[in-house]
Amino acid sequence: MAFAPLLIEIGCEEIPAGVVPVAAQALSLRLAGLLDAAGIEHGAVRWLGTPRRLVAHIDGVALQQPDRREIVTGPPVRAAKDAAGNWTKAAEGFAKGLGLDTSALTIEQTPKGEYVAAQKTTQGRPSDAVLAEALPDLLRNLPFPKKMRWAREREPFIRPIHWIVALLGDAIIPLQFAGVQSDRETRGHRFYCNHTAVVTCDLDAYVRKLADLKVMVDPDARRDFIRRGVQALCAEAGGTWIEDEATLETVTFLTEWPAPLLGSFDAAFLEIPARVIQTTLRENQKLFTMLGPDGHLLPRFVAVANTLSEASRATVATGNARVVSARLSDARFFVQEDTRVPLEAYLPKLGDRIYLQGLGTTEHRVGRILALAGAIAADLCPAERERVERAALLCKCDLATRMVFEFPELQGFVGADYARRGHEHATVVRAIAEHYQPRFSGDAVPSDAVGACVALADKIEAIAGCFALGLVPTGAQDPYALRRQALGILRILDESGYHVELTQLIDGALAGLPHDASVKSGDDLRAQIQAFLRGRLAAMLQASFPTDLVEAVLDAGFEHVATVRPRLRALDDLRQSADFAPLAAAFKRVANIVRKQGGELPAGAEVDETICALPAERALHLAVLGAAQAVGAAVQEGRYAEALQHLAVIKPQVDAFFDAVMVMVDDVALRHNRLALLRSCAGLFAQVADFARIQA
Instruction: Kindly report, residue by residue over 210-264, the tens digit of the pLDDT.
Output: 999 999 999 999 999 999 999 999 999 999 999 999 999 999 999 999 999 999 9
Instruction: Indicate the helix (H) or strand (E) that contains 417.
Output: helix 413-421
Q: Of 186, 212, 238, which residue sits at a domain end?
A: 212
Q: Report pLDDT for 70.
A: 74
Tell me the average pLDDT across 501-527: 83
Q: Report pLDDT for 437.
A: 94
The dihedral sign for the CA sequence 523, 526, 532, 537: negative
548 falls within a domain: no
CA 466 – CA 695 distance, rounded (Å): 37
> How far out from the chain centre does Cα 171 lie?
43
- Whether pLDDT at 311 is above 80: no
CA 287 – CA 626 distance, rounded (Å): 68
Q: Report pLDDT for 157.
A: 94
- Please tell me whether residues 418 and 492 are part of one structural domain: yes
Higher pLDDT, 627 or 342: 342
- Please tell me whether residues 304 and 386 are part of one structural domain: no
- Please tell me whether residues 629 and 681 are part of one structural domain: yes
661 falls within a domain: yes
- Please tell me whether residues 303 and 423 are part of one structural domain: no
Higher pLDDT, 21 or 681: 21
- Please tell me whether residues 320 and 273 are part of one structural domain: yes
Higher pLDDT, 374 or 78: 374
Average pLDDT for the chain: 90
Number of domains in the chain: 5
553 falls within a domain: no
- Please tell me whether residues 274 and 155 are part of one structural domain: no
pLDDT in tens, 469-506: 989 998 878 889 999 999 999 999 999 999 999 999 99
Q: Report pLDDT for 654.
A: 86
pLDDT in tens, 461-470: 999 999 999 8
Nearest alpha carbon to residue 384 among 339, 426, 347, 351? 426
Higher pLDDT, 102 or 5: 5
- Whether pLDDT at 451 is above 90: yes
- Whether pLDDT at 670 is above 90: no
CA 260 – CA 277 distance, rounded (Å): 20
561 falls within a domain: no
Give Cα separations from 593 to 115, 550, 678 (angstroms).
55, 22, 8
- Please tell me whether residues 354 and 491 are part of one structural domain: yes
Neighbouring C-alpha atoms within 13 Å toward the C-beta of 121 = 5
Q: Report pLDDT for 520.
A: 67
Q: Of 212, 246, 271, which residue sits at a domain end?
A: 212
Q: Which amino acid is at 240?
A: T
pLDDT in tens, 312-370: 677 788 888 899 999 999 999 999 999 999 999 999 999 999 999 889 999 999 999 99
Tell me the average pLDDT across 59-85: 83
pLDDT-derived band of residue 175, with 50, 70 and 90 as boundaries?
Answer: very high
Tell me the average pLDDT across 590-617: 80
- Whether pLDDT at 444 is above 70: yes
- Please tell me whether residues 321 and 349 are part of one structural domain: no
Give me the CATH number covering residue 197.
3.30.70
Q: Report pLDDT for 239.
A: 95
- Please tell me whether residues 56 and 173 are part of one structural domain: yes
Tell me the average pLDDT across 132-158: 91
Q: Residue 469: count other Cβ atoms within 10 Å of its Cβ.
A: 18
The range of the structural domain enclosing residue 579 comes to 567-693
3-state SS assignment for residue 184? coil
- Please tell me whether residues 434 and 527 are part of one structural domain: yes
Q: Report pLDDT for 377.
A: 96
3-state SS assignment for residue 671? helix
CB of 121 within 8 A of CB of 67?
Answer: yes
551 falls within a domain: no
Q: Residue 580: count other Cβ atoms within 10 Å of its Cβ.
A: 18
Pairing of strands 53-62, 196-198: unpaired
- Please tell me whether residues 282 and 314 are part of one structural domain: yes
CA 539 – CA 491 distance, rounded (Å): 12
- Whether pLDDT at 155 is above 60: yes
Beta bridge partners of 113: 110
pLDDT-derived band of residue 387, with 50, 70 and 90 as boundaries?
Answer: very high
88: exposed, middle or buried (C-beta count within 10 Å: 0-12, 13-18, 19+)? Answer: middle
CB of 552 within 8 A of CB of 694?
Answer: yes
- Whether pLDDT at 517 is above 60: no
Q: Report pLDDT for 385.
A: 96
Q: Report pLDDT for 346.
A: 96
Q: Report pLDDT for 551.
A: 93
- Please tell me whether residues 277 and 362 are part of one structural domain: no
315 falls within a domain: yes
Nearest alpha carbon to residue 236 among 258, 255, 263, 259? 263
